[in-house]
Copies of this chain bind each other. A is one copy, B any other.
Amino acid sequence: MMQNYLSIQDIDSLQSWIAEARALKTDPRRHLNLGQGKTLGLLFFNNSLRTRLSTQKAAINLGMDVIVMNFGKEGWALEYREGAIMDQGAAEHVKEAARVVAQYCDIVGIRAFAGLKDREKDEAEEVLNGFSRYAGIPVLNLESSLQHPLQALADAITIAEHSKKDRPRIVLSWAPHPRPLPHAVANSFVDMMRLQQADFLITHPEGYELNPQVTNGIPIEYDQEKALAGADFVYVKNWSSYSDYGKVLLQDPSWMLTKKKLGKAQFMHCLPVRRNVIVEDAVLDGPQSLIIAQADNRTYAAQLVLKKMLEL
């Protein structure tokens, strides 16, 4: 039983969740009656491809109706501060917006990325927290400032499907990218690894440490080659600096993942991925890549979470 799915902390038992998601996958429309007469609202404050399509597909598989809204483009700016005198840009307070949306929907999904300008503001998760505080209906995180728990759940399903070991060696490796990217995918993947039987470590250049509260106790290896040795799964992802918040400190192409570096490991990435910047073509086009399986599992991750919300 669950109310919201905001972060990995909302998973009560990873193994049973994975088992149930894999069962859904064998017959995705088995629960077509469960969502009859129920409406999912998807509010996008940022762009999306996989999340947009897979979450709609998941809801359709459960017989739900879906209403999609690109909030910023089709609506207006929201205010999040308590007690604000709203004489500037924001036309509506999240208190009203959330309670209003809840009149028309049974579950609401929210995508709102980190702005990467102001760490304190990003860590307040004002959009996601504003909606989950005031909506009064289950809230689904479609990637927030700090978390992307649907991606991490799809990743865990994918690892379970492709692992040949009870305790695989899993490496999260930073890779270069021309633009500053948020930490959400990395954060949620790290959180997920804590629920997983795995020999898990992180590799990145110095200065690219994630929030130490997220990585507390997890081995960090600054030498990528050492880190990758003997890996079963290599999860590659760029993120901007956390200490020098939101900055691109380094674009060193030697951190790009290559076929040679991958060795016998299986390759994972959340997508979208910049070819020959994050990872070379030979990896993405080769048989060790799991990226399409991960994308496919986004449907079943979302469907599992929606199913649990509907069963409340």
Within 8 A of B (CB), among A26-82: 29, 37, 39, 41, 44, 47-50, 52-54, 56-57, 60, 65, 67, 69-70, 73-76, 79
A83/B276 in contact, CB under 8 A: yes
A1 at interface by CB-CB < 8 Å: no
Residues of the B chain whose Cβ atoms lie less than 8 Å from the Cβ of A277: 85-87
Contact check, B275 vs A104: say whether CB atoms are below 8 A apart: no
Known: A47-B76, A56-B67. A103 touches B295 (CB 8 A): yes
**List of B residues within 8 angstroms of A49 by Cβ:** 69, 75-76, 92, 97, 100-101
| Total identical chains | 3
- Say yes or no: is A220 at the interface (Cβ < 8 Å to chain B): no
Contacts of A93 in B (CB 8 A): 273, 275
- Interface size (A, Cβ < 8 Å)? 60
Q: Is A274 located at the chain interface by the 8 A CB criterion?
A: yes
Q: Is A312 an interface residue (CB 8 A)?
A: no
**Which chain B residues lie closer than 8 Å to A271 at the CB level?**
92, 96, 100
Give complex CA distance A96, B79 in Å.
Answer: 37
Q: A47-B74, A87-B178 are in contact. Are A67 and B53 (CB under 8 A)?
A: yes
Q: Choose from B44, B69, B84, B272 the contact partner of A275 (Cβ within 8 Å).
A: B84
B69 with A274: CB separation less than 8 A: no
A-B contact pairs, 13 of them (CB 8 A): A47-B73, A47-B74, A49-B75, A52-B69, A53-B105, A57-B67, A84-B275, A86-B274, A86-B275, A95-B284, A97-B272, A100-B271, A100-B292
